[in-house]
């Protein structure tokens, strides 16, 4: 089956520090990869995505590169802000025989940025 493994949180960083949140996956087929962010009391928001190997998704200073050889999609940001404090979810989607692309989410990594 498909699975997504994220690094355990919480991750606590000082403002302007470099962020890496690791994400690895296993999938049958060729998945699309996503990062979602969830701020307190809100739903998940799509942060970035990549649909094929070596693609780099980017948004709001966050980046992640689809690495097929290492089955990874690590999230990075060069300089975090307090406003980046949230829970980050890695996810993949793969088509199935019924035409529906099942999405598998990781368990989430909580990021806390302190001033």
Tell me how many degrees the CA angle 11-13-15 measures, rounded to the nearest 5: 145
**Smallest gap, in angstroms, from Cβ of residue 18 to another protein?**
26
**Smallest gap, in angstroms, from Cβ of residue 72 to another protein?**
19
Q: Which is nearer to another protein, 66 or 89 (CB)?
A: 89
Helices (H), the chain: none
Q: Which is nearer to another protein, 97 or 115 (CB)?
A: 97
**Smallest gap, in angstroms, from Cβ of residue 110 to another protein?**
11
Residue 1 DSSP SS3 = coil
CA atoms within a 13 Å half-sphere pointing along the CA-CB vector of 26 = 4
Q: Name the DSSP class of 17.
A: -
**Smallest gap, in angstroms, from Cβ of residue 115 to another protein?**
27
Q: Which is nearer to another protein, 17 or 104 (CB)?
A: 104
**Two structure tokens written together for 11:** 């991750």
Q: Which is nearer to another protein, 4 or 19 (CB)?
A: 4
**Neighbour count for residue 68 (Cβ, 10 Å):** 13
**Binding residues vs another protein (CB under 8 A):** 32, 34, 36, 41-46, 49, 51, 89, 93, 95, 98-103, 105-108
């Amino acid at each position: 089956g498909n699975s997504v493994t994220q690094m355990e949180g919480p991750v606590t960083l000082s403002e302007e520090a470099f962020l890496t949140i690791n994400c690895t996956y296993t999938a049958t087929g060729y998945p699309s990869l996503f990062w979602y962010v969830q701020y307190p009391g809100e739903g998940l928001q799509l942060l970035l995505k990549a649909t094929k190997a070596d693609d780099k998704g980017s948004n709001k200073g966050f980046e992640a590169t689809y690495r097929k050889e290492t089955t990874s999609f690590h999230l990075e940001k060069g300089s975090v802000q307090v406003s980046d404090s949230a829970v980050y979810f890695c996810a993949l989607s793969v088509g199935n025989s019924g035409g529906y692309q099942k999405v598998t989410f990781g368990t989430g990594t909580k990021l806390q940025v302190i001033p």
